[in-house]
A and B are shown apart, each in its own frame.
Chain A
Amino acid sequence: MIQLAAKGSGVRTRGRALIAARTLRTDRWWAYPLTTFIVLLAFIAYATYAAIANRDYYAAPYLSPFYSPCLSFHCGTVPGSAGAPHLGWFGTWWIVTPAVIILIFPLGFRLTCYYYRKAYYRSWWLSPPACAVPEPHRRYTGETRFPLLGQNVHRYFFYAALAFNVILTWDAIAAFDFGGHIGIGVGTAVLVINAVLLWLYSLSCHACRHAVGGRINHFSKHPIRYRAWTFVSRLNPYHGNFAWLSLVWVALTDLYIRLVASGVIHDPRVF
């Protein structure tokens, strides 16, 4: 059927091949954005619940990553947190959940992450939902204006994420300490895997790749930085995989500790 040109926008802009269908893709292009939308929504729902619950986050020697480091004196005083270590920096005046003090940093790291940007621009903002599938927005300014201009602070969140990785690694090491005796429980393995995945996610980050060597032009004059850049470059293609694995695992880690702390399940000891 022959159609005559008319003024339009996007792929229907005057002068372009006049095709009625917005996309002619016949594959399941909607599967990635739909799956991403559902997984991210599930994580946001669970993380919100876990953060505001303000209980059941410590079962000695396991501390939930959602509450580490615990900066309020109230840590340890709510149900399911007896004995939780805390730094007390926020004194006793901080009465709401201490999780909100720290979650801004890992949240900011993931929100500005180059991989997650692709994921949520496609699945939440449909910009575009998939390659060669038109987006619904009339105007588009990308990351040139506030608030998306703020994506450029990703490196600062990366530095903060490194500090959190150190803390969560310490938590994983502390998970071997069963009242002065070294032991391993299922929770120990859960926390170790959590720390490893978070390190892999952080070290494969594009900002990390840039910081360790990507910004220099003379690799031959900086052999150590070149080796570091090469190492990060090998991890970098898997950044998206590490992003999903670490996201899901951190939620499962909290869930496991929550179930143990609330007495729903018992933590099996390996030895």
Chain B
Amino acid sequence: MADQEARHLRVWRGDKTGGGLVDYTVDAHEGEVVLDVLHRLQATQAGDLAIRWNCKAGKCGSCSAEINGRPKLMCMTRLSALPDGPVTITPLRTYPVIRDLVTDVSVNYGWALRVPSFDPPDGLKPGEYRMAQADVDRSQEFRKCIECWLCQDVCHVIRDHDDNKPAYAGPRYFIRHAELDMHPLDARDRRAVLRDRQGLGLCNITKCCTEVCPAGIKITDNAIIPMKERSADQRYDPLGQVLRSWRRREDRPPAG
């Protein structure tokens, strides 16, 4: 890419009543990301362009959009990494649009309230928690989530089937369940809630959530599949249940 060049942008403009892709030509400098040129567009040609953004460092998860049809953070997508030709930028296509590139992702916060919170064993008070690093390594991977909703946006279970939204918590909350279920000091059994009320079985593990995660979390391999296996322990593995019932020591406390 030259030090400065004009880039052809196709930006979706509109709101819930309608809209469309609008063509712009904007100067782009070497090393710039999509969010940089949208800010220049906002400053020079489209002062009323709505964009949600905050940190510009891939840490806040605000500037999620779809760039050339792929869910990405606008602040982490270099123009030089995109093919020559027009760059198409649209809002997330799974959520209701508010205006331009801003969507209403509030349904996710509703799901956040429905994930049972951390539940330490009886008698263990804050300040008394002690655990080995090896026991929390898995949970800590999921703490990297920045709640950008790209995994939720790309998941075909709700992207292509709006009717599944009330029954499907989605990848972001599957990793939250996994984070707590794998925690050595969490005493709650979350498998039934996750399977029967939050739609774990709807996921068909096609790994799009992992592909788009800007935090590099192995959502499918490290959270969803392990939770599917844990769910199978409880519901679909009668032989394993018999064998484990013979063991004197239970790693998992009773459900409750």
Q: Which residues of A contact B (CB under 8 A)?
A: 1-5, 9-11, 13-19, 23-27, 114, 117-118, 121-122, 127-128, 131-132, 134-135, 137, 139-144, 148-149, 152-156, 206-207, 209-210, 214-220, 222, 226, 236-237
Contact = CB atoms under 8 A, between A and B. Distances in A.
B116 interface: no
A26 B69 contact: yes
Contacts of B103: 17
Interface stretch (B27-35, B51-59, B83-91): B83-91
Contact of A135 (B160, B199, B229): B160
20 contacts: A2-B19, A16-B94, A16-B96, A18-B19, A121-B206, A122-B206, A128-B206, A132-B70, A132-B71, A140-B156, A140-B202, A143-B203, A143-B204, A149-B201, A153-B236, A155-B240, A217-B135, A217-B252, A222-B251, A237-B218
B68 A10 contact: no
A198 to B, nearest CB: 21
Given A13-B162, A16-B97, A140-B161, A23 B225 contact: no
Nearest to A17: B97
B16 A15 contact: yes
A127 B16 contact: no
Interface in B15-73: 16-21, 66, 68-71
Contacts of B91: 17
Nearest to A152: B236
Interface in B125-166: 131-132, 134-135, 154, 156-157, 159-162, 164
A28 to B, nearest CB: 11
A131 to B, nearest CB: 4
A64 to B, nearest CB: 31
Given A4-B18, A135-B156, A142 B70 contact: no
A215 B229 contact: yes
Contact of A25 (B12, B69, B182, B233): B69
B108 to A, nearest CB: 15
B161 A26 contact: no
Interface in B187-206: 199, 201-206
B111 interface: no
Of B95, B132, B205, B240, chain A has the most CB atoms within 10 Å of the CB of B205
B132 A3 contact: no
A131 B208 contact: yes
Nearest to A214: B226
Nearest to B85: A26
B5 interface: no
Interface of B: 12, 14, 16-21, 66, 68-71, 83, 85, 88, 90-91, 93-97, 103, 131-132, 134-135, 154, 156-157, 159-162, 164, 181-184, 186, 199, 201-208, 211-212, 218, 221, 225-226, 228-233, 235-237, 239-240, 251-252
Nearest to B89: A24
B205 A118 contact: yes
A210 B226 contact: yes
A218 B208 contact: no
Contacts of A25: 68-70
B164 A217 contact: no
A56 B159 CA distance: 50
Nearest to A139: B161
Given A26-B69, A128-B206, A217-B184, 9 more contacts: A2-B20, A10-B161, A117-B205, A118-B206, A135-B160, A140-B164, A217-B251, A218-B184, A237-B221
Contacts of A134: 156, 159-160
Contact of B162 (A9, A19, A156): A9
A121 B204 CA distance: 8
A149 B251 CA distance: 27
7 closest A-B pairs by beta carbon, nearest first, are: A24-B69, A25-B69, A220-B132, A142-B202, A131-B208, A152-B236, A210-B229
Contacts of B184: 217-218, 220
Nearest to A24: B69
Of A134, A217, A220, A236, chain B has the most CB atoms within 10 Å of the CB of A217
Given A1-B20, A121-B204, A152-B236, A216 B70 contact: no
Nearest to B235: A152
Nearest to B211: A131
A237 B66 CA distance: 27
B14 A2 contact: yes
Of A14, A17, A220, chain B has the most CB atoms within 10 Å of the CB of A17
A215 B250 CA distance: 11
Contacts of A209: 226
Contacts of B228: 152
